Amino acid sequence: MKAETMYLQPDQHLVGVTKEWHTRKKDGKNIAYLILDRSGKIALLTQKLPAVAEFINDNLVHPNEPWAKVNTVGMWEILNQTGGRVGGFHKNRWRVVSVDLENASSTFEAARIDHETAAVIGTSACYEVCA
């Protein structure tokens, strides 16, 4: 089953997030993943990294650039990294940060200000959006 992609318009705001089925916990807490594009084009929020990796590869990577495709393992390895050889970016473009589910909507709203587009990837019933 493919995850749904919900693009948020500039006048829409994410106000609530509930746990999706079969998602990971970190230190006993439910978490979401904030994926930020270094170029400022898109900010993504999800609870499942494989779904966002598939979305990036299908929609944001040019077919003539197979080296730019992301993978779930690479995103796990770069999770919450800010330094090192690649500066905390997967494929020198994507930063992946875990956030508590309770704070996910406010953290996402603060991060999307710096990006042209914002999208939520997952089960639409778990994300509350208002205008």
**Which residue carries 């495709």 as its tokens?**
69
Residue 110 Rama label (left phi>0; alpha psi -120 to 50; beta): alpha
Q: What's residue 122's pLDDT?
A: 92
Q: Which residue has the higher pLDDT, 86 or 67?
A: 67
Number of domains forming the structure of the chain? 1
Inform me whether the pLDDT recorded for 110 exceeds 70: yes
Q: Which domain holds residue 90?
A: 4-130
Inform me whether the pLDDT recorded for 85 exceeds 80: no
Contact at 8 Å (CB) between 97 and 80? yes
What share of the chain has pLDDT > 70, as a percent?
A: 98
Query: Whole-prediction pTM value?
Result: 0.89
Q: Up-side HSE of residue 63: CA atoms within 13 Å toward CB?
A: 0
pLDDT tens digits along 32-64? 999 999 988 999 999 999 999 999 999 999 888
Inform me whether the pLDDT recorded for 27 exceeds 90: no
